Structures are given as structure tokens and as C-alpha cells.
């Protein structure tokens, strides 16, 4: 009897999602005669039983389209807003999985999706995931689809900002996405020739950044490009955050845990707007006019790059092959030109950060880029 699979996309949208849906669907239907349905708007659609029948016709023409035809949301199975309450809806999702007589549920998403998918696996469901995020921070895979497109968009933005920075003798501060991981800011900063690159993995000193700008000015370059990951922070901020996280880990009773959680939330709240504060500080410290550009969701939109289409199609078709072989409970990871199924337990709850000795970091330092430390 042909297998029946469900697909959902969760978390933030990302270029290449439709290419991955197409890769899974066309291989599953055309090669293995499987039946495929999609759940709308992530785990919420699975909970509310909102489906879209996927066939050759509905999968046609979506390879080059950005976003996701299924829609997405950041809802979590175990903490889902329902009315004015937050409820654990995992059992409802399990019931809907069985209602459609599914053999496997495929979840496309980033780090949060990997954790939520593992929860469903622990409830007895057959789960496979694909790694998607522009941040490139999903553990145990060489790369995530969506990253290459976002990298190109961020690099082009920095390229365009060079001309206005040079013309007006300004400091242009460019905020790039990356809350915990700096892959996008680092890659775009190097490719776009940024003079300063600040990433979460390397806490910075504002005075060191200002001196790098002043040094360029003394040598006749009266402009600078500063590429900043949204999660980049000063050494003082990083120290306070590390101490708060340690207090949370050591908390024994419920009250202590809640207090530590509130302290962490307060620190992250204070961090909002930090890139704007950095731009203002650099203007004060250097005497050069400073302007801030926040790329925001621009980096997530539009047509996926050729590399992301290839990666998503490769992972998607490999996913269908694994389902045919009866493999589940894994993430389909990119390994060189091939793929590797990695147990969800080895992925969930982990994050791939930029190593301090990574070749990109070494290359940036070698060409004189200031990393703020």
C-alpha cells in the first residue's frame, strides 16, 4: 500500500521552502507513488487539521517562488495560544496525524522546529525534518537552505551602501539578521568589504570599533561600513548575560528559576535597539556622521538563489528516499555533495555558532577587518 506523508513548514519563512516542498512531493509522488498532504501554517495547521492536498499540479511552478505555499507560524505544540489560554496541544496533533493515516510527518524549519519535531517523535510519531534558516545555525548540517539567498541579499545591500558612505564621508552601520549566530553578518561583511564586522560570538568594545574608524580617517578614508549582527553585544552586555544564564542553570527552586528567567528577559529587552545606540556612540566618538540601515525581513524575501534551490531539492528528494526506506526520527543533513540522516536527539536544542578560529574569521582578520575585540 502506498505510504502517506504530511508536510509542514514552521518558524520564520525562508527562501527555498517551496523548492524543498516540491522536492519532497515530486519525488514521493512520481518515484514512489506516495500520497502527500500539507498542513497550513505550521504546527497550528496540524492542530487545527487544516490541510492542502499536494499533487503534481499544485507542486508545479513553485520552485522559484519565495516564502511557502503552506504558510508558517512560530506556534509550539506544547505551548500553543488557544483563545486566551496557552495550552499543550500535542495530543490533538497526534490524533490528527492518525486521522489522516500518515506514515511520516515532514517538518521543515530551524532550531525551534527541530525541538518541536522531537517532541512529536517522543509521542510516538514518525518524523523527518529538513534544516531551514537564513541564520545557518542549525546543528549537525553543513548548511541550511535559505542562507545562501540571504547572504547574497545582505552582501548586495552592503555593496550599495558603499557609494553613499563614500560620497558623504559617513559611517554606515548595517544591521544584519542573526540573533545568536553571526554567519550571515560575517559572510556578508567579508563579501561586501565591510571595515568592521560585529557578531554575537565575539563581544565587542565600542572604543576599539571607534578607533578602527578613526584610524581609517587618519589614513584618508573618511567613511566606514560597519556590519552588525542583530545579536552582537558589548563585552559588558555579554558578561551580564553569561552571569544571568549561569544563575538560571544553578537555580534549584521554582522561585529562583523564575527570578533568573525574568532577569534574562530584562537583559534581552535592554539589548533591543543596541545597533542604533552603537551608531550614535560611533558618531560621538569619531566626529563622523553616522547612519543606520536595518535590513530586517528584506533578507528573507524574494526568489531563492540557484544554490538554495539545488540544496532544497537535493534534501527534499533525499527525504522521500529515506521515507521509502523506512527511515524516520532524523534530520536530513547536508554533507558535502551528499546527505546524511542525523538522529533528532543530536540536533534538537543545539546551535551551530561561528567558531572563533573559523577560516572566515581568520580571513577577516587577515585583510584588516576589525571584529571589535
User: What contacts 92, CB < 8 A, 6 or more positions away?
Assistant: 47
Is 135 labeled as catalytic in the residue annotation? yes
For the record, the C-alpha cell of 221 comes out as 578614508
By the 8 A CB rule, do 170 and 291 touch?
yes
Written as nine digits, the cell of 205 is: 568594545
- CA dist 93 to 47, 80, 121, Å? 5, 11, 12
- Provide the grid cell at 22: 516540491
Alpha-carbon gap, residue 319 to 330, rounded angstroms:
10
Q: Which of 135, 126, 15, 137 is nearest to 72 (CA)?
A: 15
d(CA 297, CA 92): 32
Tell me the DSSP string of 232-260.
Answer: --BHHHHHHHHHHHHHHHH--SHHHHHHH
Cα angle value 2/116/245 (rounded, 5°): 160
Would you list the DSSP string of 73-108?
Answer: ---BTTBEEETTEEE--HHHHHHHHHHTT-SEEEEE
d(CA 344, CA 333): 11
| Residue with cell string 532550531 | 111
Give every CB contact of residue 96 below 8 A, 6+ residues apart in sequence. Answer: 46, 47, 49
Q: Show the CA angle centred on residue 203, arms to residues 366 and 157, nearest 5°.
A: 65
As given in the structure block, the three cell numbers for residue 119 are 517532541
Closest C-alpha among 109, 72, 68, 15 to residue 331: 109
Q: State the Cα–Cα distance between residues 261 and 272, nearest whole angstrom.
A: 17
Catalytic residue among 41, 135, 195, 308: 135
Just list the catalytic residues.
Answer: 135
Amino acid at each position: 500500500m502506498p505510504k502517506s506523508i504530511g508536510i509542514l513548514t514552521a518558524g520564520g519563512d525562508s527562501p527555498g521552502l517551496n523548492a524543498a516542498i516540491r522536492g519532497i512531493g515530486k519525488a514521493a509522488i512520481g518515484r514512489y507513488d506516495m500520497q502527500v498532504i500539507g498542513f497550513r501554517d505550521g504546527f497550528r495547521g496540524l492542530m487545527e487539521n487544516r490541510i492542502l492536498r499536494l499533487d503534481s499540479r499544485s507542486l508545479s511552478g513553485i520552485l522559484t517562488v519565495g516564502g511557502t505555499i503552506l504558510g508558517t507560524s512560530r506556534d509550539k505544540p506544547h505551548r500553543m495560544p488557544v483563545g486566551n489560554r496557552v495550552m499543550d496541544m500535542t495530543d490533538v496533533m497526534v490524533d490528527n496525524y492518525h486521522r489522516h493515516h500518515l506514515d511520516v510527518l515532514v517538518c521543515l524549519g530551524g532550531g525551534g522546529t527541530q525541538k518541536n519535531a522531537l517532541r512529536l517523535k517522543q509521542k510516538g510519531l514518525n518524523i523527518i525534518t529538513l534544516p531551514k534558516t537564513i541564520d545557518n545555525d542549525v546543528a549537525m548540517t553543513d548548511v541550511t537552505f535559505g542562507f545562501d539567498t540571504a547572504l547574497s541579499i545582505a552582501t548586495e545591500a552592503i555593496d550599495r551602501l558603499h557609494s553613499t558612505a563614500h560620497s558623504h564621508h559617513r559611517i554606515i552601520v548595517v544591521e544584519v539578521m542573526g540573533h545568536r549566530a553571526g554567519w550571515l553578518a560575517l559572510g556578508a561583511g567579508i563579501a561586501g568589504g565591510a571595515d568592521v564586522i560585529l557578531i554575537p560570538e565575539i563581544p565587542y568594545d565600542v572604543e576599539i570599533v571607534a578607533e578602527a574608524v578613526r584610524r581609517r580617517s587618519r589614513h584618508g578614508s573618511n567613511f566606514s561600513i560597519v556590519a552588525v549582527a542583530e545579536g552582537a553585544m558589548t563585552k559588558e552586555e555579554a558578561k551580564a548575560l553569561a552571569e544571568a544564564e549561569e544563575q538560571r542553570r544553578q537555580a534549584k527552586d521554582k522561585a529562583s528559576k523564575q527570578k533568573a528567567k525574568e532577569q534574562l528577559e530584562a537583559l534581552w529587552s535592554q539589548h533591543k535597539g543596541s545597533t542604533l545606540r552603537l551608531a550614535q556612540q560611533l558618531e560621538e566618538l569619531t566626529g563622523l556622521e553616522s547612519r543606520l540601515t536595518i535590513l530586517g525581513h528584506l533578507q528573507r524575501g524574494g526568489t531563492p538563489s540557484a544554490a538554495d534551490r539545488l540544496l532544497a531539492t537535493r534534501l527534499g528528494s533525499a527525504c522521500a528516499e529515506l521515507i521509502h526506506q523506512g527511515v524516520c526520527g532524523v534530520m536530513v543533513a547536508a554533507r558535502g555533495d551528499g546527505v546524511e540522516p542525523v538522529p533528532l536527539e543530536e540536533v534538537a536544542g543545539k546551535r551551530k555558532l561561528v567558531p572563533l578560529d573559523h577560516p572566515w574569521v581568520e580571513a577577516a582578520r587577515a585583510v584588516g577587518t576589525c571584529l571589535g575585540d
